[in-house]
Chains A and B, each alone.
Chain A
Amino acid sequence: DVKVTQSSRYLVKRTGEKVFLECVQDMDHENMFWYRQDPGLGLRLIYFSYDVKMKEKGDIPEGYSVSREKKERFSLILESASTNQTSMYLCASSLLQDSYNSPLHFGNGTRLTVT
């Protein structure tokens, strides 16, 4: 089974801090994604990556950046955390760049609170 591991389950940070959310997948998937999930707003795509060192903006990239130096690892960076970035963050991966029916495999999520 594919395993997507997010480094932290819960995280509490202060406003203005730089925050790193780490995600690792163990099945050699090409595609990796970062979503945030908020009540009433559903899942919203922040950034995604189809290959090492490649990144594409999703629907809500403002205030975030990403890094993919190795195929298995996709990091989400909050350059200067703000309270409106308090949310559940979900990392996901999928197998093939051109395969539209490859399901996403998700990690357990990181619940980030910014105070």
Chain B
Amino acid sequence: AQKITQTQPGMFVQEKEAVTLDCTYDTSDQSYGLFWYKQPSSGEMIFLIYQGSYDEQNATEGRYSLNFQKARKSANLVISASQLGDSAMYFCAMIWIRTRKLIWGLGTSLAVNP
């Protein structure tokens, strides 16, 4: 069955440090994409980064990078130089290119301490 798992319900990080949020997935398909979204307490889900299964290089967007390990079926989000405004829920999502079906992990709550 296709599944996305975020094993860390909650994480703490010190301001200015880097943090890795885990995401593993289970699929037998070869064509898929992985998204990360951020949801602050205001409620709006904000797109952060995308990685396609055939992309050879790890995706990066500013302070966000995706550590994509296809053989291990993991797509961890790395946030460098954490800021107080990074405190939020973070969701990993996976889309199957063949069906366009998108499924979501349950999220990781990140708290950045000053």
Contact = CB atoms under 8 A, between A and B. Distances in A.
A101 interface: yes
Contact of B106 (A40, A45, A107, A111): A40
Interface residues of A, number: 18
Contacts of B91: 42-43
B10 to A, nearest CB: 13
A59 to B, nearest CB: 9
B52 A101 contact: yes
Interface residues of B, number: 20
Given A90-B45, A100-B33, A109-B43, A42 B104 contact: yes
Interface in A71-115: 88, 90, 92, 100-101, 103-109, 111
Interface in A21-76: 40-43, 45
A42 B44 contact: no
Contacts of B43: 88, 90, 108-109, 111
